Amino acid sequence: MQDKLQASYKQLEMKSKYTNMFLRWFLYFALILFALYFIFPLYVMVVTSLKTMEEIRQGTLLTWPSGLNFDSWAVAWGGRGYGAGDTFLRPYFWNSFKMVIPAVFFSTFIGAMTGYVLTKWRFKGDQWVFLFLLFGCFIPFQAILLPMARTLGVLGISNSIIGLVLVHTVYGIPFTTLFFRNYYISVPTELVKAARIDGAGFFKIFFKILLPISAPIIVVTVIWQFTQIWNDFLFGSTFSFGKAAPIQVALNNMVLSSTSVKEYNVDMASAIIAGIPTLIVYVLAGKYFIRGLTSGAVKG
């Protein structure tokens, strides 16, 4: 009896071991499949950008390039050197930086301030203010194009980088406020009370006490805003043209307006160049991103 029982336990043990092993392998298999699926476009882009046009015409999408040929990258970045009609990314790349840095800074700062007021200096009707700000998150880009164009015209900053900074700052405030408000709501209000008794005022409490503990949510907001603003095409193409355009608009012009043969290698190189800054931001700050997104849920 005892032996029989033991034997059957052995059997069950083996069975569960095999089931577990199978499931594990299946899991890895699925994960690898997904990884390949996601990495495939990037592979095609990189490989294509390193090929000559000759190679592209003769090979398939997947063929390996004959060598490391960065010519198309140079063309995408600096052009071919002849005058009219030569579009290349370099000036627009810096345009985008001139736009994205102040826009991210101002929208983050204003969002932090608003979040601080909405949580720590409650006033009558503050929930309504927050609710209306939230509406801002749900208003589609297209809906604000006309009023914004008019505003920029009145202010005399249409077709300028300053104008784009303003647009992105205003459009970003609902999102940044939401982030900071949700973060600050988990910070004990007793901190503010203690600081008030210690004699600190509105701004001192913000700069000396709340801002120094806001690193995680600042990172989240900066990544979010940077990606949004850098990748924006609609505002850029609507409110700017020619020399003031940001990189996404220039990329579009480059790829779509070429009159001669389609240069896939240059197109691919340009697309990668336009995407690199956001990638760098993610790599540098990515680990804070998840931490910041979840930190609101855990009591600080």
Partner 1 sequence: MKTLRIEELSKNFGSTEVLRKINLEIDEGNFLVLLGPSGCGKSTLLNIIAGLETINEGNVHIDDYNVSKVEPKDRNIAMVFQSYALYPSMNVRENMIFGLKQAKVSKEKIEEQLEKVSRFLQVDALLERKPSQLSGGQRQRVAIGRALVREPRIFLFDEPLSNLDAKLRVEMRREIKKLHQQLKTTVVYVTHDQTEAMSLGTNIAIMNHGVIQQNDTPENIYNKPSNTFVADFIGSPSMNLIKGNLKESSNKISFIANGSNVEIPINGYNFNEKSNLNNKEVFFGIRPEHIFFKKSNESDFEITLKADLSEYIGHEQIMTFNYENQEVLAKFPSTIKIELEKNTNLFFDLTQISLFDAKTEERI
Q: Which residues contact 46 (CB under 8 A, 6 or more apart)?
A: 268, 272
Amino acid at 60: T
- The set of residues, in sequence order, having a beta carbon less than 8 Å from that of 99 and lying 6+ positions away, is 161, 164, 165, 168, 229, 246
Is there a contact between 108 and 222 (Cβ–Cβ < 8 Å)?
yes
Give 23 or 185: the residue with its C-beta nearer to partner 1. Answer: 185
Q: Does 212 bind partner 1 (CB under 8 A)?
A: yes
Considering only 53, 110, 200, 285, the residue that binds partner 1 (CB under 8 A) is 200
CA torsion through residues 94, 268, 260, 69, sign? positive
- For partner 1, the binding residue among 44, 191, 272, 285 (CB under 8 A) is 191
Find the shortest distance in angstroms from Cβ 128 to partner 1.
15
Q: What are residue 76's phi and psi, to 5 degrees?
A: -60, -40
Would you say 191 or 271 has its CB closer to partner 1? Answer: 191
Nearest to 53 by CA among 276, 268, 250, 251: 268
User: Does 197 contact partner 1 by CB under 8 A?
Assistant: yes
Is 122 a binder of partner 1 (CB under 8 A)? Answer: no
Assess 85 for contact with partner 1 (CB under 8 A). no
Select the residue interacting with partner 1 from 188, 241, 276, 280 (CB under 8 A): 188
Q: Exactly one of 10, 15, 17, 193 binds partner 1 (CB under 8 A); which one?
A: 193
Q: Which residues bind partner 1 (CB under 8 A)?
A: 188, 190-191, 193-200, 204, 208-209, 212-213, 300
